[in-house]
Amino acid sequence: METNLPKQFDSFAEGRKQGFLAAKQLKDDGKKMVGVFCCFTPVEIAMAAGAVPVSICGVSEEPIPDAEKILPRNLCPLVKSSFGHAITDTCPYFYFSDLLIGETTCDGKKKMYEELAKIKNMHVMHLPNMASGEYSMKLWRDEIVKLKEVCERELETTITEEDIKNAIIDKNEERRLLQDFYSLAKHKPAPMTGMELHNVLYQSGFKFERNELKESLKEVIAEAKERIDKDECKAKKDAPRILITGSPIGGVAPKILQTLEDAGASVVALELCNGIRSNDKLVDEDKDVYDALAQRYLGIGCSCMMDNDNRIELIGRLMDEYDVDGVIDVVLTACHTFNIESYRIKEFVTKEKGKSYMAIETDYSQSDKEQLKTRFEAFVEMLETNTVNA
């Protein structure tokens, strides 16, 4: 039976740009906005304060030359882009934010925050270096309590534990819907392209009205299921299935995902910030709210953590569940923690899981696009040959 489903994949494709006007409307309506840089930030606290959290990580190379007047050139492009947008006043989300929340995930961000604090209201959370242990849990719990107090003061409101619990339930509902969406890529062939997968996961952070966001996610899930039912999936049935892991790819997504799929691959899993990594775990709704938030956020498998077994566990699980043929590890230039951890990921993927692996290092420019095209084509050809010979 024919349906008239709205094309929700299209609505997510330009979500960040469409959100600019929505952000202005929110401010005109008297709403508070909180800018965040990382998936370690417990956004439930900002939500409990009645504020709208929004990602202000830069994804464009345009403001980088201005950032390099203050920051070194050999620094992560995400950090430079974020700072460049701030000092050139070219990011509406930064402009409209009443408070910025950072976290001590990497040295580049920490020092950038010191410069950022000179021009904007900034609070930095002290993230433990290790994901496990009683001390780390206590430290992060205390930092979340402190964040609650900062939000109360800076946003001129009062936050109760009931407010936080309601925000936890609200955010968990969003995470469940995102899980329902990206898990559809387990189907062979995947109903969505890698760019569509990325757009929904990334751009959902720029749909600010909570009920509208959830309804949009339900509709995009229905649209993906309809593709499966009608045998209209976007990926080819015999396309090698790829898992992408590594640094945040918001600034390089088309260069990576589109080029890779043009080479004949099917990107089925994004183990990334703003992807599966930040949506895999829910907050326990039955625990003390601060304990629950601390446990959930410390469980994120990021390379900034010394004992990062959580990332290994997640990658291994995704490789099995999504029947992955190969893993591509994307590292942004000067993203040292992910770069160093690439060796461990390679050893795990190739020796423990027996799958193909490729690491690439890139930045926000287009100068290496042709080189990546050549490498991706060779990688896909190798995977196809392995399949034939299996």
Residue 257 included in any domain? no
| pLDDT at residue 191, rounded to an integer | 97
Question: What's the structural domain count of the chain?
Answer: 1
> Does residue 199 contact residue 15 with C-beta atoms inside 8 Å?
yes
Question: What's residue 4's pLDDT?
Answer: 40
Which phi and psi (to 5°) does residue 101 adopt? -120, 120
Distance CA(19)–CA(187), nearest Å, equals 31
The CATH number covering residue 104 comes to 3.40.50.11890
Q: What's the one-letter identity of residue 341?
A: E
The residues, ordered by sequence, that sit 6+ positions from 260 with a Cβ below 8 Å of its Cβ are 194, 242, 267, 328, 376, 380
Quote the CA–CA distance of 211 and 118 in Å, as a whole number: 36
**Residues of the chain where predicted confidence (pLDDT) is lower than 70:** 1-8, 11, 13-16, 388-390
Domain presence at residue 287: no
Is 1 contained in some domain?
no
Domain range for 91 is 12-159
Q: Is 326 part of any domain?
A: no
- Among all chains, which residue has been given the structure tokens 């995977």? 383
- Is residue 341 assigned to a domain? no
- What is the pLDDT, as a whole number, of residue 44? 98
The candidate with the shortest Cα–Cα distance to 273, out of 328, 307, 311, is 311
Q: What is the pLDDT of residue 13?
A: 65
Helices (H), the chain: 8-13, 15-28, 43-48, 64-67, 77-88, 92-96, 107-116, 134-154, 161-182, 194-203, 210-229, 253, 259-262, 276-279, 289-298, 309-321, 336-347, 369-389
Per residue in 319-336, is it b (16+ CB within 10 Å) or e — as a string?
beebebbbbbbbbbbbbe
Which secondary-structure segment (H or E) carries 36? strand 33-36
User: Is 133 within the bounds of a domain?
Assistant: yes
pTM: predicted TM-score of the whole model, two decimal places: 0.94
Determine, yes or no, domain membership for 309: no
The burial class, CB within 10 Å (0-12 / 13-18 / 19+), for 196 is buried
Q: What are phi and psi of 33, to 5 degrees?
A: -130, 140
Question: Is 128 inside any structural domain?
Answer: yes
For the CA atoms of the chain, what is the radius of gyration? 20
* CB distance 263 to 384 below 8 Å: no
Q: Which residue reads 């040295």 in tokens?
A: 107
Read out DSSP for 216-230? HHHHHHHHHHHHHHT
Question: Which contacts qualify for 369-372: CB closer than 8 Å, 24 or more apart?
Answer: 369/255, 369/259, 372/255, 372/256, 372/259
Whether residue 135 contacts residue 306, with contact meaning beta carbons closer than 8 Å, is answered with no
Closest CA to 116 of 152, 89, 143, 144: 89
> Residue 136: CB partners within 8 Å, gap ≥ 6?
128, 129, 130, 298
